[in-house]
Amino acid sequence: MLLNSKMNIRKRIAFTYVELSTLSTLLLCVVVFVLFRDNNRYHFLKRLEDRAKIVSSIHFQNDPEKSKYYSELKKNGLEELIEEEEYVLKINSANSFEYNTNLNLPNDFYTNVLNTGKDYFEVDSKYYLGQVFTENKQKYIVIVGARDRRGKTTTVYIVKILLFGGIGFVLLAFFLGRFLAKRVIDPVARITKEVKRISASNLHNRLPEVKNSDEISDLTATFNDMLDRLETSFEIQANFINNASHELKTPITTIIAEAEIMLLKEREVYEYKESLANIYSQASRLGNLTESLLKLTQTGYDGQKQVLDIARIDELLMDVKSDLDKIFPDNRVSVKLNFAPNDSNLLLLPCNKPLLELAINNIITNGVKYSDNNEVFVTLSASSEAIKISINDIGIGIPPEDIPHLYEPFFRGKIATKYIGYGLGLPLASKIIRMHGGELQVQSEQNKGTIVTIIFKKTEIKK
């Protein structure tokens, strides 16, 4: 199918080139023919004009010797014309002249000659040139007629040249079109061949770079960029699956081992209670981990999900604080609302409220957890340009080398491993915030604290 498609494209390019070449050649032939015909007419009329001047000179001369001279000049000095006719018509007034019955010319011709002083008329390849001359205050119309047989012959000749030359050029265009199609398609065919060789098992392969700065090099670079993204995506998914399997396996193994030990023999009541408590702890851990994984998956890989609600962000923050107070009764989280209360519309945000509450809750909970329940300051500000939430803690901070990996699921920095967690809270929060058109910024210094800023720009907020 791909081969047939490639062949069809080659044919389309070749035939399109031939069609355009044929059209261009046809237009060129028409232009050349028209210009050649006009040039022939111009020069023939100039010859008739010279004839008219000599005819008028012969007619006006009273001296026989001069008349004889002009007659000899006309006969021997000028090229003979075919079916030549000469007429001298006396003009009586502005609108009347002596008419010759041998002339069968339209009235418009005479009118134009009288008005402009010169005109020509063509009938059956024979030209008539009329020109006004004045001699001794008497005006005359001199009309010279002749057939332009040479012009007709040369016109037929040029038409043959254009016809056969045009056919030859169209044939040449066909072969040039095929060559052009091959030159255009071959690089694409090579790219197609290379792409077909790349699969999930060898995503590290790349297309050979093309040095030319043209569309083919852009296409190659685009494919390589796509392969980079795919390889990164596959690595992230593989890493996610491996880490998820490891994290899920640990509590399951513990539960199974605990149950097997308890079933080996009869035990005391307190031993059963200790074992059930351990099993409950591991099962709770497994449940929390599964719920976090489900929430992370439900947001979608690209963070896209339908927006459902219109919520006031200050009320949403207070709901988050209320939930925190239930989970951590002794928390030291303080919320500061820094905005003008007279315009509540500045606080409205289209959102999936439960998901956004979960994201902000995860970030604030991290601040509480990694600061050992020290003070956490949450500041909300709103303007016509953006809604900004700043969460500032004075906890353990984040080493600079860990910051690029904060949004990778299951990633936990070295100094954070002593705290209970799965490394899913911040990646989940990042996805939810991105889903709502927001931006998450993290600034941190080790052993001094972390500032997490959430910004919802009004131009990016989904309507």
The residue among 331, 408, 324, 329 whose CA lies nearest residue 374 is: 331
Neighbours of 430 (CB within 10 A): 21
CB 262 within 8 A of CB 279: no
Neighbours of 112 (CB within 10 A): 16
CB 108 within 8 A of CB 102: no
DSSP state of 79: P
CB 333 within 8 A of CB 318: no
Q: Any idea which fold 309-457 has? A: Heat Shock Protein 90 (3.30.565)
Report the chain's terminal Cα–Cα distance, integer Å: 44
C-alpha 376/C-alpha 324 separation (Å) is 12
User: CA dist 194 to 119, 189, 200, 242, 396, Å?
Assistant: 73, 9, 14, 31, 50
Per-residue burial over 28-44, b if 16 or more Cβ lie within 10 Å, else e, is ebeeeeeebbeebbeeb
Spell out the alpha helix ranges (H) of 74-135: 107-116
pLDDT at 308: 66
DSSP state of 344: G
How many residues are there in the chain?
A: 463
User: CA dist 220 to 158, 188, 224, 230, 254, Å?
Assistant: 50, 9, 6, 15, 51
Domains of the chain, by residue range, sit at 2-155, 215-298, 309-457
Q: What CATH class does 215-298 carry?
A: mainly alpha
pLDDT at 361: 87
pLDDT at 451: 92
C-alpha 204/C-alpha 197 separation (Å) is 12
pLDDT at 389: 94
pLDDT at 317: 92
pLDDT at 391: 94
CB 370 within 8 A of CB 396: yes
The residues facing 134 across adjacent strands are 139
Q: Are strands 333-338 and 376-382 parallel, antiparallel or unpaired?
A: parallel
C-alpha 29/C-alpha 1 separation (Å) is 41
φ/ψ (deg, to 5) at 356: -65, -40
pTM above 0.85, yes or no: no
Residue with tokens 């353990």: 396
C-alpha 43/C-alpha 298 separation (Å) is 87
Under-50 pLDDT residues of the chain: 1-3, 6, 301-303, 463
Give kind and range of the element (H or E) at residue 119. strand 118-123
